Every structure is written in C-alpha cells, then in structure tokens.
Amino acid sequence: MDKILRVNMSDGSVKVEEVPEKYQLLGGRALTSSIVCDEVVPTCHPLGPYNKLVLAPGMVTGTSAPSSGRLSVGGKSPLTGGIKEANAGGIPGQKLARLGYKAVIIEGQPERGKLFLLKISTGGAELVPADDLAGKGMYEINKTLWERYGEGTGIIGIGPAGEMMMRNAGISCNDPENGPGRYAGRGGLGAVMGSKGLKAIVVDDTGAAGVPVANKELFDQGRKKLAKALTTHDVTSKTLPSYGTAALINVMNEAGGLPTRNFSSGRFEGADKISGETIAEVTTSRGGKMGHPCHPGCIIKCSNIINKADGSYHVAPLEYESDWALGANCGIDNLDDIAELNRLCNDIGLDTIEAGCTLAVAMEAGLAEFGDSKKAIELLKEVGKGSPLGRILGNGTAFTAAAFGVTRCPTVKEQAMPAYEPRAVKGIGVTYATSTMGADHTSGYTIAPEILNVGGDVDPADPNKAELARAFQATTMFIDSAGYCLFIAFAILDIAEGFEGMVESVNGVLGTNWTTDDVTKLGLTWLKKERLFNEAAGLTAQDDRMPEFMKYESLPPHDTKWDVDDRVLDAVHSYTVEE
C-alpha cells in the first residue's frame, strides 16, 4: 500500500499521491483520524466544502491475516460534531488494500444535486456521473453495480439517507454474497459522503498486486498464533459461529442490562424470542445460514443469512446490536419484523443502533405503541421517502427527542447508546461517556471482563472504571488501526500468544518492531489526536457526560442509577502521551 488517492469533488480531479512518511506506519482508524486531524478544520460545517471523507484499510487488511478485512472511514461527524471513525467488514477494504491504496481522501463539493460514482481498479481511478442512481436504495445499487462492473466487485455506497444528508446515514460495504449490510454506520458519515455528491465507490481489484509484506516469516508466525487463539477460544470458535453476536441477548437480559423500551428497563420479557439461540434455530430450519464470514479470510464467521418463513432470502446479517435496537429497545419480539426493519435500514442506508433508538424515542413520544412492529416498519419507510417525519427520524435519536420534547434520550454527544445499559454495567457507561466517538461500545468493550469474564472478571456495578475504560479504548484503537475485526479481542484478551501473534502480524507487514506494550502506548497516542480534534471543535468535559435522566431514574430490575462520579470520567483521558 504505497499510495493515497485524493478525489476533489469541486473540480472533479482524481490524483494519486505518495504516502507521506508520517503516514507510512499507520492504517485504518489511526490513519483516517490522522488525516482528518491534519487536513480538516475542526470547526468546519460537517456537510460543507471543508469537511473530508477519508477511507483507509487497516494495516494488515488485504493480507491473509485472519479476520482482518476492516475498512475505516473517517471525517467530522454531523451527528456528534467531533471526529468520527466507523469501520466495517465486507469486501471493499481488502480490495482497496490489494490495489495499493493506503487511503482515499474525498474533499470539496460539487454543484448541489450532482451525483457521482468513483471507480477504482488497476486501471486507475475515475469519477463517473451517477445521476441515474439518485434516490436508489443500497440493494438496487449493489445489484445495478454488480451487473455493470461484475459480481463480487467491492461496493461502498450510500442509500437515500446519505443523499439527504441525514445525521443517521451510514456507509455500506458489501458482503461477498449478499450485497449491502456491512455498515460503517455510526456518526452520520453517509451524510458526509452525500454532501460530497458521491453515491458509491466501486472497487475492482482484478489483477491487483496485493499487499506487500515486509517480513513474511514474522507475519506468518504472527497470523498463525492469532489463528490458533481464534480457533481455540470458546467465544470466537464456538459461541459466535454457532449463535452469532445475538448470543448476547440472553446474557445481557439475565444481567438486567438489556435496554428495553427506550432504556426504561434492563430486562425484556420477549428476550427469548429474539435471542441468538432462537435466531440460530429459526435460521437453520428455514435454510438460512449461521457461521457466515463477512469477508474471505474470516475464521470467526459470526455472521448469518436470514431467510423468510418461505425460505427466501430476507436480510444479512442480523446482528446483536440490530436485533436489540430494533427489537427489545422498541419492545418488539417478532423476529421477522426485526429482520424487515434491519433490511430497511440496510436499504435506506441507516445505522441500525441509531435507527432503533430513534424508533424507541418516537414510541416514547407517542408515534407508535412500544411493541408495534408494523407501525415501526411504516415509520422507518418514512425515512426513505424523506417526508418531514422521515427527516426527523433520519436525523437520529437526539434529533427526534428534541423534535418531540422527549427527555429520556439515551445519547452521548448526540449518538445513541448501544445494547448495554450503563446503569447496570458501569464500565461500558464510562466508555460511552468518554469515547471520542460518542456513545459507542466498540470504542472500548469493557463488557468482556464485566459480563463475559473475558480478559478478567470485574464487578459490573463497580463505578471506578477509568483505568479499565482507558485501557480498552487504547487497545481498541490499535485493533481498529490494524484492520482486525474487534472480535479477535475475545481471544487475545485471554490468550497471550494470540495477542503476541496479532502484534507480530502487524510488524510483519509494516516492518516495525512493536511489542505488546506498544499496543497501549500507540493507542493512547492516536486517541490523544482524536481528543485534540474534538477539543478544537468545541467539545469539552461536559460532553463526556451521561444523559441526565439516568441519574434520577432507577433502572429495573435492579433499580440502579448512574452513579459514576464525573471525576472518574474526566480521569479517563488524563494521561501523558510518550513521544
């Protein structure tokens, strides 16, 4: 990966640049965030001409390292007002990497209303007018572009939500088999892509040279150690491939930490009907698939392909977060309707977590009864239409809460909380509050030691989790930069050799000599950059806070409140970066 592609949407120019020295050892999130910090004015309007959209495969993405197909997407978030990185699986990341692109930078803005497609292949890159694709959903986009450019081509794209510059618009990456559904979903980066007039990026790596590996021996040693850990650890070798991520539904429900009906309870009476076990059973009985990899080379294979009752394809994947957000959090226990809601999100181009939390707030506002899945489907369709109601819902949870005067609004930095109740599990709440990204479980998944006894055994009720949250956020930053799927963490937290292997595989590709200790150090260094961007954008300690209602409303069944001291939150980012 020896080049950067710079696409200027104002003048239509497409340039290949050398990778500056300062970026040569970066990838994924570390690279997108560094470029955003270097090139984007923190106070710019996220949808104006001075924001940029940056895409970068991880350091080892495109190699044979296991479960390493992530593509990071970065920019200033129209949702949080701060820096944003969202990463996705699927196939485009690997293809970009194999074509030698360390990053793609989209900048400027065309005349309003113009729409383009960016085609990238061994023949180079070019912008193609794409007005014919305007308003199309991601399923049709993927189908059309596969017909036009070949089945299996990498497709990065936005649905109508992105074109309408909605704050909950995500960026879709496609699956090897099932089209759209792998989303760099969070934080409204789809709206940034929409504001650039870019409907899709087609990535064809036919004939590509692949990713150069500096030290093949070390790389092979590392990837094998990591693969062994992944195929050994119970979570990555048994639970995830068998039941998918939704295996967590029963676990979190049991812990009283499954947010239900807009975060008004931690337990859902319909949990069993939407659990991973039930999904596995139903999916298998209908000829669907469990243990599906979202990209070639994934050996965890946590994903699934969901069929309708008649055996025809419905949606892929149905993950824990989507299942919860569109299910329990809306009081919905009908799996088929949850799958349909998920499919609509994929098609319109929405993050499912934000969409589910939005629907729950809308239910709280009286737009539907909790549990009314048919009405929820109608509401979500409004987003695709861009009706006034759709404009509200498409702009996310905090926006919808403001529109209807709802104060029970489970967001941090305006981004909706994922499927873990912070009043029940304090550490994940500390991550929600202090992440540079807004409420985000993938920023520092302390659920592992707090609930799953992975990487330790920590009391979820203990409110002093500054060090825990910091350590997880730093490690996550490294994994997001390497291009590994975050799920490798389950294995490497418990199996030291796997952790070493992960670092060795990165060293093998980059020619570095990083140690396992460097993982945290580098993670903190890169995190600090993101924090500085956010500070320059106007975010303060007051943005690292939980919503007020969690401090005065008790959460059933354990009747717990958010009681973490603000000083704990402020301590998370009180550290010095070693130069």
Residues that bind its own copies (CB under 8 A): 42-45, 47-50, 78, 164-167, 191, 194-195, 387-389, 391-392, 395, 399, 402-405, 407, 536-543, 545, 547-549, 552
- Edge-first strand order for the sheet with 53-57 is 13-18, 3-8, 101-107, 53-57, 71-76, 83-88
- Which residue, 191 or 522, is less far from its own copies as judged by CB? 191
Q: What is the closest distance, in whole angstroms, from the C-beta atom of residue 187 to its own copies in the complex?
A: 14
The closest alpha carbon to 544, from 560, 559, 564, 524, belongs to: 564
- Which residue, 210 or 386, is less far from its own copies as judged by CB? 386
- Which residue, 282 or 403, is less far from its own copies as judged by CB? 403
Contact 291, 307 (CB under 8 A): no
Residues 6 or more apart whose Cβ sits within 8 Å of residue 148: none
Q: How far apart are CA 306 and CA 231, in angstroms?
A: 25
The closest alpha carbon to 192, from 71, 301, 107, 130, belongs to: 107
For the stretch 494-518, what's the b/e string if a residue is b when 16 or more beta carbons lie within 10 angstroms of its beta carbon?
bbebbbbbbbbbbbbbbebebeeeb
Q: What is the closest distance, in whole angstroms, from the C-beta atom of residue 8 to its own copies in the complex?
A: 16
Question: Which residue matches tokens 């949990």?
Answer: 271
- Which residue, 12 or 49, is less far from its own copies as judged by CB? 49
Q: What is the closest distance, in whole angstroms, from the C-beta atom of residue 112 to its own copies in the complex?
A: 10
Q: What is the closest distance, in whole angstroms, from the C-beta atom of residue 569 to its own copies in the complex?
A: 12
Cite the DSSP H helix spans in 87-215: 92-98, 138-149, 160-163, 189-195
Q: What is the closest distance, in whole angstroms, from the C-beta atom of residue 57 to its own copies in the complex?
A: 29
- Which residue, 23 or 432, is less far from its own copies as judged by CB? 432
- Which residue, 29 or 76, is less far from its own copies as judged by CB? 76
- Which residue, 230 or 392, is less far from its own copies as judged by CB? 392
Q: What is the closest distance, in whole angstroms, from the C-beta atom of residue 39 to its own copies in the complex?
A: 16
Q: What is the closest distance, in whole angstroms, from the C-beta atom of residue 225 to its own copies in the complex?
A: 45
Contact 342, 315 (CB under 8 A): yes
Q: How far apart are CA 526 and CA 538, in angstroms?
A: 19
Q: Is 197 helix (H, G, I), strand (E, B) or coil?
A: coil
Q: What is the closest distance, in whole angstroms, from the C-beta atom of residue 533 to its own copies in the complex?
A: 12
- Which residue, 204 or 543, is less far from its own copies as judged by CB? 543
